[in-house]
Amino acid sequence: MKPMITAKKMLAASSLLSLIVLSACSGGSGNSSVADSGNNAAAAAVSSNTEEVTVSLSVMTADRFLQLAEQKFEEQHPNIDIEIKEYEAAPSAEGNNKMMMTKMPDPQTTEKYASSIGAELMSGKASDIIVMNGLPAAKYADKNLLADLGEMMKNDASFPMGHYYTDIFEAMKYNGVLYTVPAKVELNLWLGDKSVIDGSNVDDNAWSWADFKNAAQTWLKDDNGDGQSDRYPLGKIEPVQLMTLMLNSSFSNFVDTAGKRASFDSQEFTGMLELAKSFYDEQIIYTDGADNANVVIQPKAKTMGYMDMYMMPKMSSFEESAAYYNLPSENEQRGTQFTSSMPLAINSKSEHTEEAWEFVKFLLSDEMQSANELNGIAVNKNGAKAQEENLKNLGQNQGNGGQGGGKKLMLNINGKTADMEPATDADIALIEEVLNRPKVYAETDPKIAAIVTEETAPFFQGQRSAEETAKIIQNKVGTYLLE
């Protein structure tokens, strides 16, 4: 594994759609009008300590949001140095106006990162703060290696709990304890054609994967009678992606992390495998050679940020009929599923717990949650409102020194072009409605997810039965849980 890199003064890549906000809105540090009451008082209390302290933070790859927070926090806390330990540097963008798509982390690098962090935690040498993306937080929590962030919030009078979407915090708890808190989240939503979907009387707040299939069968259409569908319920999605979505929606049904038990050899799981395969066999999912525009639901399930939420409907083939829908779920909990690319944990053995909490709290503050660099969905309500205001100002400061009159900003995806027009009140109202829905953490364990996707590949290729596949997964996951 490459040695860790301190991420000072390094520019990270961010997703294209979300980064457009940086060029489309004024400034690069968010809405300066957003007040951050309480945070300054707490900062002053910690800053009154003149002792030099270094707070370390481990992360797979640092992004611009994390680097900006480091810079601003150190300005406000001159006695605290934030040391970002990065395990894989992001590629740098060339030129002032070029932006790069974030690449998916290499699975081998992720596994090495997890192994390294696990070894550091067990030896007592881990960083003060750890970004838990790709790491088995529940296993670390069971070994008492992570601090209780919920208690820190509760005991900190300067932490404004009313500023946050607390359903997200509740959903992140493990055995009733908040060990990780997300600095930002991504929403698991499908974009669909409501003119078709709403006619099926489906309830996306309660539908299962079987319910989805039943509805999808009514959406199939073969106009020319050639036996090949002319309209597909779901756009192209690979089996590995489909199994990830289905597992995330039912993880707790098959894995008891605390009890170190798995139940993949159950009829429920083999039934899920057969159901997933039937989506391909019965043309529920788009196949190569068909018209990709003739789908009822676009398969992209992760809404990365506010620009995504605003522009995806406008760039779709659904146009005025576009609407967001919750993914099917086998979970008893109902609501929009979410994930986080930046779940934060504090090392329970840290010698600088107070300072580490101050930095975590700063990442959650109104100031940082309203920053254009967030590149995700804010967990802070004031930050969300600031992000929405950015959408209302799209393209207003382009050209002519930021005074308007420049070229109109355009977005082109897959050959489809759209003007970057300012969001209307109606657009914002739709976004706000979605923001109040996240209540279900798409829980998973990266190692278990890797085992499931790897071992189900032969099943989808017709080389192995559902029962054989389930037995292999059960044995491998069972062994892993006992490690």
pLDDT tops 70 at residue 302? yes
pLDDT tens for 238-280 read 999 999 999 988 998 999 988 999 999 999 999 999 999 999 9
Q: Which two tokens stand for residue 405?
A: 């009159």
Give percent of the chain with pLDDT exceeding 70.
80
Spatial separation of the C-alpha atoms in residues 174 and 255, rounded to whole Å:
13
Q: Higher pLDDT residue, 29 or 178?
A: 178
Tell if the pTM clears 0.95, that is, is over it.
no
Tell me which of 319-323, 346-350, 405-409 is least confident. 405-409
pLDDT tens digit sequence for 408-448? 566 655 555 666 788 999 889 888 888 888 989 987 888 99
The predicted structure's pLDDT at residue 416: 59
Cα 335 to Cα 342: distance, rounded to the nearest angstrom: 21
Q: How far apart are CA 99 and CA 20, in angstroms?
A: 9
DSSP 321-348: GEEEEEPP---SS-SEEEE-S-EEEEBT
Radius of gyration of the chain (CA): 23
The answer for residues whose C-beta is within 8 angstroms of residue 315's C-beta and 6 or more apart is 411, 413, 416, 418
Question: What's the mean pLDDT in 52-66?
Answer: 96
Confidence class of residue 201 from pLDDT cuts 50, 70 and 90?
A: confident
Residue 393 region, left (φ>0) first, then alpha (ψ -120 to 50), else beta? alpha
Lowest-confidence range among 88-92, 127-131, 470-474?
A: 88-92
Tokens standing for residue 49:
């300590």
Residue 98, C-beta contacts closer than 8 angstroms, at least 6 positions apart: none
Taking the C-alpha atoms of residue 340 and residue 183, their distance in angstroms, rounded to an integer, is 8
Res. 384: pLDDT tops 90: yes
pLDDT averaged over the chain?
Answer: 83
Helix 306-315 and helix 16-24: axis angle, to 10°?
Answer: 100
Mean predicted confidence (pLDDT) in 116-128:
95
**What mean pLDDT is predicted for residues 9-27?**
40
300 torsion bin: left (phi>0), alpha (psi -120 to 50), beta (else): beta
Q: Give the residue with greater pLDDT, 362 vs 400.
A: 362
Q: In whole angstroms, give the CA distance from residue 355 to residue 46.
A: 7
Model pLDDT, residue 33: 43
Higher pLDDT, 39 or 150: 150
73 pLDDT higher than 70:
yes
Comparing 95 with 436, the larger pLDDT belongs to 436
CA 480 – CA 138 distance, rounded (Å): 13
Report the pLDDT averaged over residues 92-101.
Answer: 42
pLDDT at 478 (0 to 100): 96
Q: What is the pLDDT of residues 19-58, one digit of tens each?
A: 444 444 444 444 444 444 444 444 455 555 678 999 999 9
Q: Which residue has the tokens 């992390």?
A: 257
Binned at pLDDT 50, 70 and 90, residue 100 comes out as very low
What pLDDT shows up at residue 411? 60
What amino acid occupies position 13?
A: A
Confidence check: pLDDT of 348 > 60 = yes
CB atoms near residue 75 (< 10 Å):
8
Residue 405, pLDDT > 70, answer no
Question: What does the alpha-carbon distance between residue 294 and residue 333 come to, in Å, rounded to a whole number?
Answer: 32
CA distance 322 to 324: 7
Look at the block and give the residue holding tokens 């099917």: 328
Least confident span in 38-47, 58-67, 87-96, 177-186: 38-47
Q: What is the pLDDT of residue 291?
A: 60
